[in-house]
Structure 1
Amino acid sequence: MTRSTGKVCVAVLGLVLSATPGLAQDWLEGLEPRVLRLADFSGNETANFGRAMVAWEQEITEFTQGRITFENYWSSSLLNATGTLSGVSDGVADIGLIIPTYYPQDLPVAAWLFGMGAALSGSTVHDVAAGGATALETLLTLPAVTEEYAGHNLVVLQGTSTPAYNLLCNKPVNSLATAQGIRARAIGSVWSSTAEALGMTPVSIAFNEAYEGLQRGVFDCMVINPNQYVDGLTLRDVAPEYVPVTFAQLQASTWVMNLDTWNSFPVELQNFIIGANARAAQAIWQGYMRIEAAAGELIASGGVHTNDVSELEPVAAAQRAEYVAAMAGNAPAAVGDAQAVIDAYLARIAYWTGVLEEQGIPVAERTPEAIVEAFRVLGDVDLEPFIARFNDEVLPGLMIQ
């Protein structure tokens, strides 16, 4: 944790501990020792989410002087991707990772909000930081979302957004003509509709079959982050054509806690956790910079071929804008004024994008040369001033009085 990322929470902690020593001691001495179970289907403790959440746990254990400790279950060893909602709700685990689109019936508002992942620039830093800041604010403050999770006995801890998805292909795709008929693995309408606009045919292939499918030519392209060149599937061996046309980001991957567990904590601990939640999300932002920079080294070195998307990008951008524009018409009733929610979301993305630009981080153009250069400098991007700005402006309003 950097000094600037934690300064707001340190200030809050200072207020808690300096207010009335007796009261501070009372809440801590009265805190029942317990072990909280965390379930992460997506990876292990060395993955981006895992690293951030282990650091989050360590903060809480230290703050509670060892009264709260954790037991971690990685890679679906306790709850899988579609079982986490009910598992955390019922107390099988206390903390878990939710992808809202896996639960369209149970989480219609959160699943609908996922579509805002189409409102991005394609520039990794801005989509991760500005998009992530907007997702985090919205998940924690939009009543339609917080009440929906509360209806499942859950409280939102934090949520983040990935970089934009692109295409990793086993053949060149550098024009609308070459895109025609390309079979692209695209799971979810926010991605498949962009593929269709480019003239591609979306196909549904299990993730664990993707490597072999690309290798054998069962399909031609995969809609995914370029970090899969160096992480997970290491697709550079079977999909050496990087096509950086901008598809939606994976929006609002959400960490939740069992509401009964949360309500059992004193307010002093709840406020500390709120600050720790923000730091965990911000660690994930920075983690994406690190992961994408590793992919960028491969791309910049020519280890994979970067295709020119100048003909594809305007078509994809227009389609994504249409997707967002249509969201008000298919919003769940619980959203209320859907257009106002969409407008507010877009305004916050624009605001946080502007903050990054003020801090000397321009949105990268979508030419092959600019894309390669943007990847090249990702490892040097310092999000510390941006994180400090978020903490100064947003965190105080989240604290429980």
Structure 2
Amino acid sequence: MQLRKFLAAAVAALAFAPTGALAEDYPKMSFTYAHMIGPTHALAKFDNRWIELVEEGSDGQITFEVFWSGSMGGPTEIPDLVGSGAVDFGSTALGYLPSQFPLAGVVGQMQRTFATPPDARSASMKIFSLPPVQEELARNNVTILNTTTANPYNLTCNKPLRTMADLEGTRIRANGKYPPAFFSAFGASPQTVAFAEMYEGLEKGLIDCAWMSHDFAISSNLNEVAPYAIDLNLGAVPATQLLANRQKFESLPEAVQTLMHEAAEQSSQEEFAYLEEVFQTTIDEVMPEKSMEYVHFEEAEAFTEVEPDMPQMWADDLAEMGLGDAAEQVKAVLDEYRAKLVN
């Protein structure tokens, strides 16, 4: 069933065509695009697909020059690069910038909030459309066209974790503000480690676990230094946000804007089918090939009894910052989707 869904999405992708527009409706245009990750990494797969769909949908009239692997600027620099017009588009995780994007950045900071990748995207796009979030984005002169998603995040570790006691003192890579608070609730020791330094951190024992989906971990070759995949479900995650320079995007012909929005929807639907397929394939086929042990966490019920309510924690913090009313609008969306996972 999963494979059939994936193949159906692939067939649909071949037939992609922008609604109500012909190739001659698109002027010849070239855009610059900065991405925090390399083009072959799973995290960039469907951002790359969005580029392909826009180029194909315009019959080659629209093209992109892409600066991969942070070559134009690191994850925290990309929003300013886009907002200033140094590049036209960019993909990064806004959760890395909680001071600059306290509202929009929440989507990548919430553990155990989104049950599935479609839920993660749907909730994110609802949040991005809220008036106070739009105001925040406008202040930074960016607009969000899409968010890539990931399968539920788990832990990839250099030691097996089976019980709550095993979590105590475990050094888990958790950047930002809220992921560290989440893992601290279980007695773990969160560590701030750059994405590019996780491999070395696990290899040298500076950290014990990385927090990401199993397929992302294998795409990052972490299996070579962390052979234990823990099955503890920490929720699906909106991974990276596709940003556009707001002023430039709004100045584009309507047909171009529509094409880019439709390409975002199409690439996301393909992503969901892919993630559903790859989730089970990773467990059944890839992990054995990579000599990884799929470890069952035996005390999931005890884990849920201790886990903090992350949307409430976040909303309380923003109320102290004077953003209480805006935070409540965002929290209503987070609560709606969290209920699907924890109830």
Query: What TM-score do the two structures reach when normalised by structure 1?
Result: 0.71
Is 1:89 aligned to residue 83 of structure 2?
yes
Q: Any conservation in 2 of the 1:39–1:96 contact (CA below 8 Å)?
A: yes
Match of 2:6 in 1: none
Is 1:132 aligned to residue 128 of structure 2?
no
What's the CA shift string for 1:250-299, capped at 9, x where partnerless? 43521011122212222233222221121123333334345544531234
Aligned-pair CA distance for 1:32: 4.7
What amino acid is the match of 1:241?
Answer: Y
Q: Any conservation in 2 of the 1:146–1:156 contact (CA below 8 Å)?
A: no
Match of 2:333 in 1: 344
Match of 2:33 in 1: 38
Q: How many residues align?
A: 330
In 2, the alpha carbon distance for the partners of 1:209 and 1:48 equals: 17
Aligned-pair CA distance for 1:84: 0.7
In 2, the alpha carbon distance for the partners of 1:277 and 1:349 equals: 24
Q: Alignment partner of 2:238: what SS? A: coil
Match of 2:53 in 1: 59
State which drifts further: 279-288 or 103-112. Answer: 279-288
In 1, the alpha carbon distance for the partners of 2:121 and 2:130 equals: 15
State which drifts further: 183-192 or 330-339. Answer: 330-339
- Report the CA distance shift for 1:180/1:273 in structure 2 as closer, same or farther (over 3 A): closer
- Report the CA distance shift for 1:339/1:145 in structure 2 as closer, same or farther (over 3 A): closer
- Report the CA distance shift for 1:151/1:6 in structure 2 as closer, same or farther (over 3 A): farther
In 1, the alpha carbon distance for the partners of 2:131 and 2:308 equals: 25
Aligned-pair CA distance for 1:87: 0.8
Identity, % of aligned pairs?
A: 24
What amino acid is the match of 1:169?
Answer: C
Is 1:191 aligned to residue 179 of structure 2?
yes
Q: Alignment partner of 1:108: what SS? A: coil
The higher radius of gyration belongs to 1
In 1, the alpha carbon distance for the partners of 2:14 and 2:326 equals: 35
Q: Alignment partner of 1:155: what SS? A: strand
- Report the CA distance shift for 1:207/1:154 in structure 2 as closer, same or farther (over 3 A): closer
What amino acid is the match of 1:255?
Answer: L
What's the CA shift string for 1:357-401, capped at 9, x where partnerless? xxxxxx9xxxxxxxxxxxxxxxxxxxxxxxxxxxxxxxxxxxxxx
Q: Any conservation in 2 of the 1:161–1:252 contact (CA below 8 Å)?
A: yes
Aligned-pair CA distance for 1:229: 4.8
Q: Alignment partner of 2:50: what SS? A: helix
Q: Alignment partner of 1:303: what SS? A: coil
Match of 2:93 in 1: 99
- Report the CA distance shift for 1:3/1:196 in structure 2 as closer, same or farther (over 3 A): same
In 2, the alpha carbon distance for the partners of 1:229 and 1:63 equals: 32
Aligned-pair CA distance for 1:314: 2.9
Aligned-pair CA distance for 1:104: 2.0
Aligned-pair CA distance for 1:340: 4.3
In 1, the alpha carbon distance for the partners of 2:73 and 2:270 equals: 24
State which drifts further: 174-183 or 147-156. Answer: 174-183
Q: Any conservation in 2 of the 1:119–1:321 contact (CA below 8 Å)?
A: no
- Report the CA distance shift for 1:338/1:89 in structure 2 as closer, same or farther (over 3 A): closer
Match of 2:3 in 1: none
In 2, the alpha carbon distance for the partners of 1:184 and 1:238 equals: 14
Unaligned runs of at least 5 residues, structure 2: 1-8
In 1, the alpha carbon distance for the partners of 2:178 and 2:260 equals: 33
Aligned-pair CA distance for 1:200: 1.8
Unaligned runs of at least 5 residues, structure 1: 18-23, 122-126, 354-362, 364-401
Is 1:149 aligned to residue 144 of structure 2?
no
